[in-house]
Amino acid sequence: MLERVRIPQFSPGQRIGLYGGSFNPPHAGHYAAALEALKSARLDWVWWFVSPQNPLKDPTHTEDFRERMALARTIATHPRFIVSDFEMRVGSRMTAETLYALEPVLHRGRFVWIMGADSLAGLHHWRRWRELPRTLPLLVIDRPGWTFRALSSRAAHYLAPWRLKESDAALLPGIRPPAWVFLTLPLRKESSTAIRSGTVTPKTHRKP
């Protein structure tokens, strides 16, 4: 499959964060989270995987995939960020399928999965959800209003024995999973839901 589907180029052994999501729409908060992940885990790249459709969300509330891709590229302007349509090309509708498609190349780099605290809070609703922390270390980025729900979630309790200190985030790319870090950072008020509802105006960011 990967012979026919182009993935971002990388050198063997590089440290890569996989940042999956609907990005509906992408905004400066996504950029800030990806930048903090890049710095804290000392990553070489962050690949933004724009999902064709989150199976847990109403498709009528999801904007056109091409529009989300285009907007994500206007947001993710850091030279170490790459916005990819990989999930669309391989026909992935859930993270487990994405991991399966990536399996032939995972041994060539040091990969980490980046997710928001809201995703951790609902991780146990994902199909075959345990495959993700068993396949890749997790870097969980805190989000406004989600801290308690994330850390008291079923997935967080399941993964509790493998939680590392926040100061150990840079160790994640070299650690055999399961392993995870809950990363706090200055919380931003932007959210895709609020932007879609019109209660928050999307903001651009300053280039690094």
Residue 136 in contact with residue 41, Cβ under 8 Å? no
- The pTM assigned to this predicted structure is 0.84
What is the reported pLDDT for 193?
52
| Cα within 13 Å of Cα(169), Cβ side | 21
* Helical ranges in the chain per DSSP H: 28-40, 65-75, 86-90, 95-106, 117-121, 131-135, 147-151, 154-159, 192-197
Residue partners of 43: CB distance under 8 A and separation at least 6: 15, 16, 17, 37, 80, 112, 173
User: What angle in degrees, to the nearest 10, is found between the helix axes of 65-75 and 28-40?
Assistant: 60
| Listed range (68-72, 115-119, 199-203) with the worst mean pLDDT | 199-203
Residues 103 and 152: their CA atoms lie apart, in Å, by 31
What is the reported pLDDT for 7?
86
Burial of 168 (0-12, 13-18, 19+ CB in 10 A): middle
What is the reported pLDDT for 208?
47
pLDDT digits (tens, 9 = 90+) for 71-117: 999 999 999 999 999 999 998 888 999 999 999 999 999 999 999 99
pLDDT surpasses 50 at 40: yes
Residue 188 in contact with residue 29, Cβ under 8 Å? yes
pLDDT digits (tens, 9 = 90+) for 104-136: 999 999 999 999 999 999 999 999 999 999 999
pLDDT > 70 fraction of the chain, expressed in percent and rounded: 81
Average pLDDT, the chain: 87
pLDDT surpasses 70 at 203: no
For residue 151, give the nearest of 140, 135, 138 by alpha carbon: 140
Residue 44 in contact with residue 15, Cβ under 8 Å? yes
pLDDT digits (tens, 9 = 90+) for 135-194: 999 999 999 899 999 999 999 999 999 999 999 999 999 999 999 999 997 755 555 455
Residues in the chain: 208
